């Protein structure tokens, strides 16, 4: 299920990689903690969003959004967190919810975005279209929580 508000993710220790911020695509809202994709024009949207018409390249994962940004035309004001402002993104290893819990035999398997919150080991669901590659399944912690490196 896609995010409807901000969330805080558990992040594994390690170096933080912070690419430069990217502008929020028109009519899109990105929540803090959401998995974000980038389109060929350099704008971003929540993972699971279809490529807007006129863009030629399929979306690619850009990272995890570090703050909320809404570029929807009926937003209350067009400044700060509203409008096409740049969203700071982070790459690293995160505890992300899976559609089906992974097991150790899937270690180092590719992981795909179901939506901006959930990931899957399945690239193409039955009867669906191909999902965006997010990263790699890197293991389970002592509580069984799965981690993905973006």
Q: Is 75 a domain residue? A: no
Higher-confidence residue of 116 and 129: namely: 116
Q: Is 70 a domain residue? A: no
Q: pTM of the entire structure?
A: 0.85
**Cα gap 96→9, rounded to integer Å:** 8
Mean pLDDT of the chain: 88
| Owning domain of residue 110 | 94-149
The pLDDT of residue 73 is: 76
Q: Is 112 a domain residue? A: yes
**Cα gap 106→113, rounded to integer Å:** 16
Q: Give the pLDDT band of residue 18 (cuts 50, 70, 90).
A: low
Name the domain count of the chain: 1
Q: Is 127 a domain residue? A: yes
């Amino acid at each position: 299920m896609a995010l409807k508000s901000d969330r805080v993710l558990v992040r594994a220790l390690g170096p933080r990689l912070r690419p430069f911020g990217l502008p929020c695509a028109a009519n899109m809202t990105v929540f803090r903690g959401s998995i974000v994709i980038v389109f060929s024009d350099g704008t971003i949207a929540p993972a699971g969003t279809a490529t807007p018409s006129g863009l030629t390249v399929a979306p690619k994962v850009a990272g995890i959004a570090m703050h909320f940004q809404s570029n929807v035309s009926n937003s209350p004001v067009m400044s700060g967190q509203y409008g096409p402002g740049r969203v700071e993104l982070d790459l690293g290893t995160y505890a992300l919810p899976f559609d089906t819990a992974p097991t150790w035999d899937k270690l180092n398997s590719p992981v795909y975005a179901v939506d901006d919150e959930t990931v899957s080991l399945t690239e193409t669901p039955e009867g669906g279209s191909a999902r965006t590659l997010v990263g790699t399944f890197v293991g389970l912690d002592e509580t069984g929580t799965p981690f993905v490196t973006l």
